[in-house]
A and B are shown apart, each in its own frame.
Chain A
Amino acid sequence: MQDNIARLKDKAGWVRRQVLEMIVSAGKGHIGGAFSCTDILVALYYGGILHFNPSDPKWPGRDRFILSKGHSAAALYVILSDLGYFSSSCIGNYQKEGCILGGHPHRRIPGIEGDTGSLGHGLGIGAGLALSAKMDKVDFLACVLIGDGECYEGSVWEAAMFASHQRLSNLIGILDKNGLCSTDRIQDCLDLDPLDKKWQSFGWDVVNVAGHSFEDLLSVFSNIRFRKSNKPLMIIANTIKGKGVSFMESNPNWHHAVPNDEEFKIAVKELGGCRQKGVDS
């Protein structure tokens, strides 16, 4: 168990370092939100949680993961490339001319299940996928990562009502609750708390989790396939925007700022200089 946790921590450090280099090289990208959800993504993809097959990206039995907060795509790209969905050379060309990897994900990229970038769409798409699975009596999960700022979108709550009414127990939401929207703190913009009670009142099961603790994430994620409930599940992951780099953490300026040379050096040092891929799974 502890070896597994260490392996995931290494991997997350490496992913963040890759994201940092990609965004600096491209001169653009949403670094804060990518860092806040990196541990969630690493736990899902390397922690034995999601079912997928990089050599057969359209394998019917795969779980459908929708990155509804599409601006965090850089972290997902690193992971998908590392898992073999596409060449690592794409990572070096992120957002550059001729590269398939843009600022927001789309289905032309192997491993991406939905076009996102406009907030508030992913949960409804996930609900439709989950409903199709129920109709066809197949057992894949629809897993949707949303942001807390995204919860300002009314369509999120339309989807929330629909999912609970349809008893979509195979729909798993993960809320990257990093406390910041694009330019402001959530509590200063429009306070969303108590978010857990909001989701509960919309008919969802809700679990709170420490979003940067692999012990916590795995403990919750490992049960998502074996639930007895007939409700959809929202996992509220309490995270820190810009996690891993002190001057970025919980700082609204780092929604999509790009580090300069000096900031890059500090960030590299704080991320632990993880140039290795991490221990392979």
Chain B
Amino acid sequence: MKPPEIDIRDAFFNEVYAIAKEDSNVIFITADMGAHSLVKFKKDLPKQYINIGIAEQNMVSVAAGLALGGKKVFIYTIIPFATFRCYEQIKMDLCCMNLPVVVVGAGPGLTYGSDGPSHHATSDIAVMRALPQISILNPSDSCLAAYCARIAYESVSPVYVRIDKGRQPLIHKEKDKFPDGLVLLRGGSQLTIISTGLMVHHALKVAESLDGHGISSAVVDLYMIKPLNESLLLSAINKIKHIVTVEENSIVGGIGSIISEFLNDHGLFIPLKRIALPDQHCFESGNRESMHKYFRLDEENIKKDILSWVSAV
């Protein structure tokens, strides 16, 4: 049965709530950041819920201490504060000690739109993937978000989850049957688009419109950005002539860089087009959609850029 469409962040937290109800060792810490679904968590499980205040460095260190004491800890705030602000604590307290703490960051890419660079998350993949031990998850819909909550709970190492907000159409049908790390959403013989999170929705629509231009395009939902499931990825790009990465991250260090490194490391000389945000801060006003247009990350411009690139290589 098709699950109901709900806010992707609520889908994640509802699953965490269900897990925490079963396992009293699960502790949820927020750095004074809310979500609709957390109201229920706080009310029903007050002993497992802590608002630690706007103190992200301490949030990570306390989570590490709780994990050393045998707790499974989820920590949560907006991405820049969950990553950059406390990066050294994540490195030392979580990754060096390899503790199974889940860092939940809200608002990938330009989710927070006109709130500006302080709230944008366009380089967090680059810095977080540089840390040994940590896994990075970026679900594209509420189905996958709930599944990612389970993966994070079961992990014995640190996990970073980039979680969007809002009601997105469902891409995935099943709640708990996903290939490890990536999903081939759509087959295609000529070109593969690899994307993550919200941009997977754009990628699917672009692939459909490329059909009309005679380009058979596959789409990969790379929901686990690190570690990369290399064998699945190799099969997803088998006999493909062109690869395009589409992401709402900086061109520096995101999934375009990951795929580029992957191709090089495997001696695969398949032309690669990286569609991403430019290496600059975004001070534009407007909503996420208008910013996508501005940076050519809307479906029409992605399609145009792919067509002109394919015809040129």
Tell me the A residues contacting B by CB distance below 8 Å: 64, 106-107, 113-118, 120-133, 135-136, 142, 154-155, 158-159, 161-162
Contact = CB atoms under 8 A, between A and B. Distances in A.
A225 B96 CA distance: 31
Given A124-B57, A161-B53, A115 B92 contact: yes
B53 A159 contact: no
Interface of B: 27, 47, 52-53, 55, 57-58, 60-71, 88-89, 92-93, 96-97
A114 B61 CA distance: 11
Nearest to B86: A155
Task: With a 10 A CB-CB cut-off, give which of A114, A125, A158, A162 has the most chain B CB atoms.
Answer: A125
Say what secondary structure dominates the interface of chain A.
helix
Given A128-B61, A158-B58, A118 B88 contact: yes
Nearest to B52: A162
Nearest to A171: B65
Nearest to A166: B50
Nearest to B55: A158
A131 B53 contact: no
B93 A115 contact: yes
A125 B61 contact: yes
Nearest to A106: B96
Given A131-B62, A158-B57, A114 B68 contact: yes
Question: Closest 6 interchain pairs by CB?
Answer: A128-B65, A132-B69, A124-B61, A158-B58, A158-B55, A128-B62
Contacts of A123: 61
B68 A64 contact: yes
Nearest to A160: B58
Given A117-B92, A136-B70, A131 B65 contact: yes
A162 B55 contact: yes
B56 to A, nearest CB: 9
Given A113-B68, A114-B64, 16 more contacts: A106-B97, A118-B88, A124-B89, A125-B65, A125-B68, A126-B65, A129-B66, A130-B65, A131-B66, A135-B47, A136-B69, A142-B65, A155-B57, A155-B89, A158-B55, A162-B58
24 contacts: A106-B96, A107-B97, A114-B93, A115-B92, A115-B96, A121-B61, A121-B88, A124-B57, A124-B60, A124-B64, A124-B93, A125-B62, A125-B64, A128-B66, A129-B69, A132-B65, A132-B70, A133-B69, A135-B69, A155-B58, A155-B89, A159-B58, A161-B53, A161-B55
Task: With a 10 A CB-CB cut-off, give which of B53, B63, B69 has the most chain A CB atoms.
Answer: B69
Nearest to B89: A121
A193 to B, nearest CB: 24
